[in-house]
Amino acid sequence: MRYVWLLACMLLIFINFLYCPFQEKALALEQPVFNMKNKSERALIMKGPSTKREIALTFDDAPDDIFTPKILDILKEKKVKATFFLVGHRIEKYPDIAKRIVQEGHAVGNHSYNHPNFLQMKEADFKRQINRTDKLISSLTGSVPTIVRPPYGEINDKQIEWLTKYKRVVVEWDVDSLDWKGLKSEEIVNNILSGVNPGSIVLLHSGTGEGGDLSGTVEALSTVIDDLRKKGFKMVTIPDLLDIP
C-alpha cells in the first residue's frame, strides 16, 4: 500500500512538472501588455484577459464611404466604442470619414498603406507600409498608433520584432465574423455570438474593395451589440481591453 501511495505522489509531481510551464504562460497572457517584464511575450495578441466580461469589436479596412458611415451611425446610436484598423490610401481617399472615426471616440490602429501580404514583402517595403500609414494616422490623432493589425493576419517574426522595438503591439483576433465573404446578417451574428468569451477580440470589416458587400455586417451589428449586452458583456476598445496606451 505504501508503494502505491509513493507511486501516486511521484505521478502527481511529474504531472505538475509538465503542466507548470504552460500554466505560467497562460497566466502571463492575462497581464497588461506594458506591465510585463518581458514585453516580447506580448508582441502579438489574439485575445484579451478573461478576468472581466469585456470584448472588443474591431473593424478592418476602414474607411470607405459606403459601409463605414453606416457602422459609425449604429455605434453612435448604441453608445459603443470600437477599434478601427485604418488603411493608409483609404485615409487619403476618405479623410472626412477617417476624422469622424477619431472624433467619435473610437480607437484606431495601423492596417498598412495598401493592404499587401507582409510575408511577401522585403523588409524595407514592409517598414514603408507602416511608416507611411503612421504619418497619416498621426495627422488625425496627433500621435503614432500603438496597435497594428497585419493584412490577412500574416506577419513574420522579424517584422514583429521590429514593431516591438518601437513598442507596438500586433493585434489579431480569436473570433472571426467572416463578414468579408459577403455573408447574410444571420450568419454573421451566429459566427460572433457562438465564439465570444470574456476577452474576445472580434474581427469585422467596415470597408471593402470594388464589388464587395458588407451590408450583412451593417444589418447584423445592432443585433450583435444587443445580444452581447444581454449576456453581460461590455464592449471596449483594444487599448482599454489590453490596458495599453
**What is the Cα–Cα distance from 226 to 235, expressed in whole angstroms?**
11
Q: Annotated catalytic, 115?
A: no
Pick the closest to residue 223 from 196, 198, 178, 192 (CA basis): 192
Given 176, 205, 240, 243, the catalytic residue:
205
**What is the Cα–Cα distance from 29 to 48, expressed in whole angstroms?**
8
Residue 199 contacts residue 31 (beta carbons within 8 Å) = no
**What is the Cα–Cα distance from 69 to 101, expressed in whole angstroms?**
9
Give me the residues paired with residue 205 across strands.
60
Q: Annotated catalytic, 205?
A: yes
> For 52, which DSSP code?
S
Given 60, 61, 64, 134, the catalytic residue:
60
Residue 178 contacts residue 202 (beta carbons within 8 Å) = no
Active site residues: 60, 205
